[in-house]
Amino acid sequence: MSFTLDLNTVWFVLVAILFAGYAILDGFDLGVGALHLLARGDRNRRVMINSIGPVWDGNEVWLVTAGGALFAAFPEAYATAFSGFYLAMVLLLVGLIFRAVAIEFRSKRESPRWRRSWDVSFAASSILSSLLIGIALGNVVWGVPLDAEHEFAGTFLGLLHPYALLVGVTTLALFLMHGAIYVVLKSEGEFQAQARTWIRPTIIFFLLMYVTTTMATLLYVPHMAQNIRSRPVLFALPLAAMLAIANIPREIHRGREFRAFLSSCASMLLLLAVAALEAYPNLITSRPDPEHSLTIHNAASSQKTLMIMLIIACIGVPLVLAYTASIHWIFRGKVEISETSY
């Protein structure tokens, strides 16, 4: 394998950045959702929902952007993934729909039964969505059966193999930790003290899952270590990921939650960077026939399309980064519940 800085590689990096941005941003609001039922009492649950209230939908737009970029730059990979994972995508959409509706509808009526039903819907759909996103990542890492025409040749149940499920649970654990730190940042008083007690167990849960997944990957997915094995200097990347993860409990121990949150963001970025680096130049690895894999070359649009889109991306990506940063800045600080809150 050789790294050449062509347009295809630039687009591979761009698509990877968009997916990483999605994981970091939607990661904390999915995590808050997954933790939702741990919050007791109506007011605390409203704090949970309103902590992500102004930002969660903007965060989800990153998934749309990442899907759109994949469609435009690597249409064959998009076609294979979206057709092949059809039922999984349908399930993910159902999860995301009920999550969104739960956030909007929950506090519209006083009835405790109404609110409890939406609380359960919010938590269950957040957990389901996190698992499915992780399972998708697990399958991309593991490889999926593709035929000679790059069509998906497996079944939906075939996507639920132990390694994919392991990555699914690891992703959920990561989001739980990420979300727990976020809730502490956004809450105050007694509830903040309660939310602080969630951090330790979620960190331990994530660390166990992270170590298990790393071992399983090295043992059973040898093609995911080739690129770094052939260029030892790249070992700096998984090393940086490990240091970022180790820094999370360190910052928590010192009571610096904001730094812990930044560390958690950095861990997600670095872990996905390792996965992307190892997958390169494959977009969707074929297993058991690696020669049927979709790569950044055989799945790409024409060079002209990639060039035009790169110009658009150079204008669009800074804009997206700017509005994402400004919305988080505007809504910084602790959650306040008012008449018009969720």
Partner 1 sequence: VGRQPWIVYGLLRTSEGLSKSVSDASVITSLVLFSLIYLLLLALFLFLLNEKIQHGPGEVEEITEEGHRA
Interaction site with partner 1 (CB under 8 A)? 54, 79-80, 83-84, 86-87, 90, 93-94, 97, 101, 105, 108-109, 151-153, 331, 338-340
Of 3 and 156, nearer to partner 1 (C-beta) is: 156
* DSSP state string for 108-123: GS--HHHHHHHHHHHH
For the bound state, the minimum distance from the C-beta of residue 291 to partner 1, rounded and expressed in Å, comes to: 19
Q: What is the DSSP letter of 223?
A: G
For the bound state, the minimum distance from the C-beta of residue 147 to partner 1, rounded and expressed in Å, comes to: 9
For the bound state, the minimum distance from the C-beta of residue 161 to partner 1, rounded and expressed in Å, comes to: 18
Residue 143 zone, left/alpha/beta (φ > 0; ψ -120 to 50; rest):
left
Q: What is the DSSP letter of 144?
A: B
Q: What is the DSSP letter of 192?
A: H
For the bound state, the minimum distance from the C-beta of residue 121 to partner 1, rounded and expressed in Å, comes to: 11
For the bound state, the minimum distance from the C-beta of residue 203 to partner 1, rounded and expressed in Å, comes to: 32
Q: How many of the other CB atoms lie within 10 Å of CB of 140?
A: 22
Nearest of 83, 97, 86 to residue 125 by alpha carbon: 97
Q: How many of the other CB atoms lie within 10 Å of CB of 14?
A: 18
Task: Compute the distance between CA of residue 311 and CA of residue 332 in angstroms, rounded to an integer.
Answer: 32
Of 74 and 206, nearer to partner 1 (C-beta) is: 74
Task: Compute the distance between CA of residue 25 and CA of residue 17 in angstroms, rounded to an integer.
Answer: 12
For the bound state, the minimum distance from the C-beta of residue 252 to partner 1, rounded and expressed in Å, comes to: 30
Of 18 and 124, nearer to partner 1 (C-beta) is: 124
Of 51 and 80, nearer to partner 1 (C-beta) is: 80
Of 84 and 168, nearer to partner 1 (C-beta) is: 84
Task: Compute the distance between CA of residue 155 and CA of residue 288 in angstroms, rounded to an integer.
Answer: 14
Of 144 and 172, nearer to partner 1 (C-beta) is: 144
